[in-house]
A and B are shown apart, each in its own frame.
Chain A
Amino acid sequence: MAEDLVLDTAIRDWVLVPLSVVMVLIGILRYFVGKLMRSFQTPDEESQGRVRSPIGQKSHIKSPVLRICGSPVCGLIKIFLDGRQLILRARNLRAAGGFIPGKSFRSRRFYYTNEENGLLFVPKGQAQNPQAQMFSDPNMAMDMMKKNLSMIIPQSLTFAWVNFFSLWFCGSKNTLPIDSKVQINAAKWDRLEHRRSMDDTQRMMQMSGFGVDPTQNLSAEKDGLDIIQHEWILPKMEQRAAEVLQKLVK
C-alpha cells in the first residue's frame, strides 16, 4: 500500500522543481511588466478627470456641487465624482451626529438626503451603466487592454512551454505511467494558474471602478442617514463634566 503513490525522483528533479521555479519567476516578471505598463493616475478622485471627455465640460465645477444639481449633467457628475469624500463626510455625520445640536443635524441631513437636490440623492434612471462609461472613454478601454495583455501573453507562453516540456520528457523516457502523471501535473498547474489570473482580472475590474456602481454607495449612505435617530449626547457630557469637577474640587 505504501508504495503505490511514490513520485519518481527523476520527475521531482526534472519536472516539479523546475516547473515551480519557472512559475514563480513568471509571476515576478509579470508583476514588473504590469508595473511598467500601468499608466499614471491622479491619486484622488481620478474619475473626475474623466468627467471632461464625455460631457465636454471642463472639470472646473463651480462652487458647491449642489448648485449644478438639477441639471441633467448633475447626476453624471455626482456619479463620476466618485463621492469618496462625500461618503466620508456623510459617514461622519452618521457616526458623530450626536455631538452636534439637533437643529444642525437635521439641516445637514436634509442637505444630504432631500429628494430634490440632496448630495446623496441619485435620481432614478441616472445611474449610468459602466459599460457605456467604459466605451465613452478610450483611456479606460486602453487600460483594460493593457491589463489583459499582461495576463494573456505570459499565460499562453507558459502553456506552450509546459506542453512542450511534458512531451519532451515523455519522449525521452518513454514510460507511460509517468507520462500521464506529468500531464496531470501540468494540467493542474495550468488550471490553477488560469484561475488565479481570472481572479486578478476580476479584482482589477473592481479596482478600476467599473463593475461596482458608485451610485449604490451613495444610496446606501443616504438610507443609513435617513433611518438614524438623532440623540444629542451633550447633556450627558454636562453631567460627566460635573462629576469630573466634583472629583477635582474635592
Chain B
Amino acid sequence: MVGAAEEAQLNRLESQVDNGGGGAWEYLCLVRKLKARRSEKVLLHGLSILNNPKDRSRLGGEEWTLYEQVAIAAMDCQKIDVAKECVAALSQKFPGSLRVSRLEGMLLEAKGEWADAEKAYTCLLEENPLDQVIHKRKVAMAKAQGNPSAAVEYLNKYLSTFMADHDAWRELAEIYVGLQMYKQAAFCYEELILCQPAIPPYHLAYADVLYTMGGLENLQTAKKYYASTISLTGGKNTRALYGICLTTVAINQLTKGRNKEEKESPELQFLAPAALLKDYKQRAPEKLPLLTSMLKNMKIIS
C-alpha cells in the first residue's frame, strides 16, 4: 500500500519526467521502492535509459536492477520481445541465478504458456522449497488462469509455512470473498486484525463480511467493527457510517416484536446518520437530497 504523501511525490516526479525535466532514474527508484505498478511509464523511461549507453554505464551495478525492473514492466505491458531481451541480458550476466530463473518463469507466464511456467516453478521450488516469491507466483498464476480455488489451495499451503505473512492473508481473504466463502474470509480478516490491530481497512472489511453473512449475532458484531473503524479513522470513513446505518436497520428488523432488553450504545444509530448528513452537506451538497430520501426510506431519520 502506498501512502498519500508518497503517492503525491511519485506523481510529481512522474509529471516532471514526462515533461522532460529529468530525474528518470529517481522516478524508477521510487516506483521500485513503493512497489507501484506503473508499468507503461517504467517501460518508457527505463528503456530510454537502457538504450542510451552513456546513461546506462553511469548506473554502474544498478544497471542490472533496471534490466529486471524493465523486464517485469515489459511483461506487464505484453511487450514480450523487450522482456525477452532484458532477461537474456540478465541471464548472460548472471548464469544460473535464481532471480533470473524466476524472471524466465515469469516470461513464460506472460506468454501464456502456463504449463511450461508451472513446470519451471515446480523445478525451482524443488531446489529451493522456501522461496516465497515463487510460491506467490504460483498463486498469481492460478488467479490469472481464472482458477481461484487453485489459488486458495496454493495460498493455504504457503500460509501453513509462512503463517506470519499478512499480505498473503489479505490476498486469501479477498479471494474467499470473491468465492463467497464468507466464513473463511472472516477468519482471514481476524488474522489480519490480530496482526495489525490498528489498521482500519481490516476492521471495515471484516465488518462487511460479517454483515454479508447476516444473522443477529454477526450483525451485532459487524456493527461493533464498523464502530471501531469509525473510532480508528476519527469518523472520516463514509462506508463505516453507512455500515452503522445498515446494520442498525437490519438488527431492528430482526429484533422486531421481541423485547429489546439490552440495546448497546443507542446514540450511535442517531449519530452515524447525522455525521453522514453533515459530511454530505460539506462535501457534496448536490447529493444531499438523495441521501436524505434514502435515510428516510430506511426509517433512520424522520
Binding site for B on A (CB under 8 A): 42, 44-45, 48-49, 58-66, 81, 85-86, 88-89, 92-93, 96-97, 99-101, 104, 108, 234-235, 237-242, 244-246, 248-249
**B218-272 interface (Cβ within 8 A of A):** 221, 223-225, 227-228, 230-232, 234-235, 264-265, 267-268, 271-272
Tell yes or no: B295 within 8 A of A by CB: no
Q: Determine whether B190 belongs to the interface, using a CB cutoff of 8 Å to chain A.
A: yes
Interface mask (B161-181 → A, CB under 8 Å = 1, otherwise 0): 111110000000000000000
Q: Which 4 A-B pairs have the closest CB atoms?
A: A237-B228, A245-B271, A241-B227, A238-B227
Interface of A is mostly: helix
User: B224 contacts which chain A residues (CB < 8 A)?
Assistant: 234-235, 237-238
Verify A85–B161 contact, CB threshold 8 A: yes
Q: List 17 A-B contacts (CB under 8 A).
A: A65-B160, A66-B160, A85-B164, A89-B164, A92-B195, A96-B194, A96-B197, A234-B224, A237-B228, A237-B231, A238-B223, A240-B231, A241-B231, A242-B267, A244-B231, A244-B235, A248-B235
Q: Give the contacting residue for B274; candidates A100, A234, A249; CB below 8 A.
A: A249
Closest to A67 in B: B160
A residues less than 8 Å from B187 (CB atoms)? 104
- Chain B: minimal CB distance from A189 (Å): 41
Which interface residue of A89, A99, A245 has the most chain B CB atoms within 10 A?
A245
CB of B272 within 8 A of CB of A245, answer: yes
Q: Contact partner of A245 among B129, B160, B162, B275, CB < 8 A?
A: B275
Q: Which of B194, B231, B268, B274 contacts A92 (CB 8 A)?
A: B194
Which residues does chain A contribute within 8 Å of B275, judged by CB atoms? 245, 248-249
B278: interface (CB < 8 Å): yes
Using Cβ atoms and an 8 Å threshold, which residues of chain B touch A88?
163-164
List, in ascending order, chain B residues with CB within 8 A of A92's CB.
Answer: 164, 194-195
Please give me the residue from chain B that is nearest to A119 by CB atom.
B163
Please name all residues of chain B whose beta carbon is closer than 8 Å to the beta carbon of A100 when the two chains form the complex. Answer: 190, 193-194
Nearest chain A CB to B199's CB is how many angstroms away?
11
Report the interface size for chain B: residues with CB under 8 A from the other chain.
Answer: 39
A100 to B122, CA, bound (A): 37
Contacts A100-B193, A246-B267 given; does A49 touch B130 at CB 8 Å: yes
Residues of A near B162 (CB, < 8 A) are 44, 85
B160–A63 contact, CB under 8 A?
A: yes
- Residues of B that sit less than 8 Å from A by CB: 128-130, 132, 156-157, 160-165, 187, 190-191, 193-195, 197, 221, 223-225, 227-228, 230-232, 234-235, 264-265, 267-268, 271-272, 274-275, 278
How far apart are the CA atoms of A39 and B275 in the complex, in Å?
Answer: 62
Most chain B CB within a 10 A radius of its CB, from A60, A93, A96, A101 = A101
Q: Are B195 and A246 in contact (CB under 8 A)?
A: no
B265/A42 in contact, CB under 8 A: no
Residues on B with C-beta less than 8 A from A93 are: 194
* Other-chain residue from A96, A240, A246 in contact with B271 (beta carbon distance below 8 A): A246
Q: Could you tell me the distance in whole angstroms from the C-beta of A233 to the nearest C-beta in chain B?
A: 9
**With contacts defined as CB atoms under 8 Å apart, how many contacts are there between chain A and chain B in the complex?**
113
The answer to whether B228 and A241 touch across the interface, beta carbons within 8 angstroms, is yes
Neighbouring A residues of B197 by C-beta, 8 Å: 96, 99
Q: Which residues of A contact B228 (CB under 8 A)?
A: 234, 237-238, 241
- Which of A45, A63, A65, A240 is B130 in contact with, Cβ under 8 Å? A45
CB distance from B65 to the nearest CB of A (A): 19
Known: A48-B129, A100-B193, A248-B278. A238 touches B163 (CB 8 A): no
Which among A81, A86, A245 is the interface contact of B230 at CB below 8 angstroms?
Answer: A245
Q: Do A64 and B160 touch across chains, with their CB atoms under 8 A apart?
A: yes
B190 → chain A, closest Cβ, in Å? Answer: 5
Q: Which of B128, B268, B278 contacts A242 (CB 8 A)?
A: B268
Additional 5 contacts, C-beta under 8 A, given A49-B130, A85-B165, A96-B194:
A63-B160, A89-B194, A238-B231, A244-B230, A248-B278
Q: Which chain B residues lie closer than 8 Å to A63 at the CB level?
A: 156-157, 160
Known: A59-B129, A245-B230. A238 touches B265 (CB 8 A): yes
Contacts of A246 in B (CB 8 A): 267, 271
CA–CA, A196 to B32, complex, Å? 43
State the CA gap A99–B132 with chains docked (Å).
Answer: 29
A241–B187 CA distance with the chains assembled, in angstroms: 24
Contact A89 B235, beta carbon cutoff 8 Å: no
**Closest chain B residue, CB of each to CB of A97:** B194
A88 to B164, CA, bound (A): 6
Q: In the complex, how many angstroms separate the beta carbon of A245 from the nearest chain B beta carbon?
A: 4
| CB of B105, distance to nearest CB on chain A (Å) | 18
A58 CA to B156 CA, complexed, in Å: 19
User: With A and B bound together, what is the CA distance between A189 and B129 in angstroms?
Assistant: 47
Given A93-B194, A100-B194, A238 and B161 contact (CB-CB distance below 8 Å): no
